[in-house]
Amino acid sequence: MGDDGFCTALDSCGVVVDMDIERLRVDASAARMALDRLLKGKSANELGLFLDGARHFCDDRGRLLLLVSPSLPLAPTTGAAGAGAGAGDNGSYASNGAQESVCKLLLGIKEIQATVIELLLERLLEMVCEDSEPQTQHIARLILQQFRWIDNLDDCRGLVSSLFERYTSFPEQLQKEVVSMLPDMIDDSAQAIVVQELLDKRRDPTLATTVYDTLTNLSLSSAVIEQVVSEVIADLGSTPVDDLPVILRFLMHTVAQPTTDTAAMLADAVRAIRTELDFETLRSASSTTVASSSSSSSSSSYLAARGSGLVTDSVLLVLGMLIASTAAAAAAAAADADENGQ
């Protein structure tokens, strides 16, 4: 089956793909069910031919863009109502808002899911390695978006592992997008590998903020939270000042999760922060830098120094919030103990 056969198979399920516009003649859910029925009845050889056609179709970047772009569902206009999935052959259609891409429909079909994922990852790596043209980067981002919220994902760990294997080849902005979308990709089976990758990457100054934001958005077990908090606290002394506010906000959010021993973890966090960070030195250094820079002829150096002072103020503010949270948690624990004692 060539790419014409691939398009014919899609067309039989109510999906029309051409170089001008990507069209769905039926609702996306109906198209997926039709594709599922079609492919479930195929032999291994027939599935291979279908996927070979898809691979050949994706060799053309214009066509690949069509497959990963949101589809335009077409509803029959007056006179074509009730014509069914094939109404577009004889009737006229009107756009009715964007739906998921044709590629996303294919990813929802278990029999071909793994091969479609591998095909997309191959095309993604080819594009990011070949050039940095805006159109190429746009397609690369659209390919990445296909991996969010995949229905019935069969091998989440495999997908995450494959992404991270190619990760170092991606440009910085695409790396950030990969990290940011992880909470929308993974299930519990991939949690351990994702957390370890994030902990390894948090030391990259270009990714630190994105990594901590992503860790905050993950639903972590209490055991994993304790591991993450312990490793983050252990590195506080060597953390760049500019990264401290986001790290402390992460700690404040994480240790207050209902799955953790809030009072104990807050107390440990505050104790470690006070031990690892010399706030007097930080404040003194930032004040000295601002003063010296204000007498300088360079406005940019003054603004940078002033920013450093604001970062230190932010660190102190978050620490104060942590201390207040610790006191509140301790008071709540004491109240619970008194109530249980009575």
Nearest CA among 160, 150, 86, 139 for reference residue 112: 150
E strand or H helix at 22: strand 22-24
β-sheet with 15-17: strand ranges across: 15-17, 22-24, 72-76, 93-95
Q: Read off the pLDDT of residues 84-124 as tens digits, 9 standing for 90 and up.
A: 444 344 344 444 566 889 999 999 999 999 999 999 999 99
Distance, CA of 179 to CA of 188 (rounded, Å):
17
pLDDT, residue 86, reads 41
Q: Contact, 117 vs 41, CB < 8 A?
A: no
Helix 110-130 to helix 134-145 angle, to the nearest 10 degrees?
160
Residue 109 corresponds to which tokens in the numbers above?
Answer: 């079909």
Three-class DSSP category at 143: helix
In this structure, the strands spanning 22-24 and 93-95 are unpaired
Which secondary structure element, helix H or strand E, spans residue 75, and what is its range?
Answer: strand 72-76
pLDDT for 188 equals: 84
The rounded radius of gyration (Å) of the Cα atoms in the chain is 27
- Quickly count: other Cβ atoms within 10 Å of residue 43's Cβ: 8
Helix, strand, coil % (nearest 5) of the chain?
70, 5, 25
Please work out, in degrees rounded to the nearest 5, the angle formed at the alpha carbon of residue 193 by the alpha carbons of 191 and 198.
90
Single out the residue of 233, 238, 258, 259 nearest to residue 319, CA to CA. Answer: 233
Query: Which pTM value belongs to this model?
Result: 0.75
CB atoms within 10 A of CB 16: 18
- Segments of the chain scoring below 70 in pLDDT: 1-2, 18-22, 74-98, 256-263, 266, 278-334, 336-338, 341-342
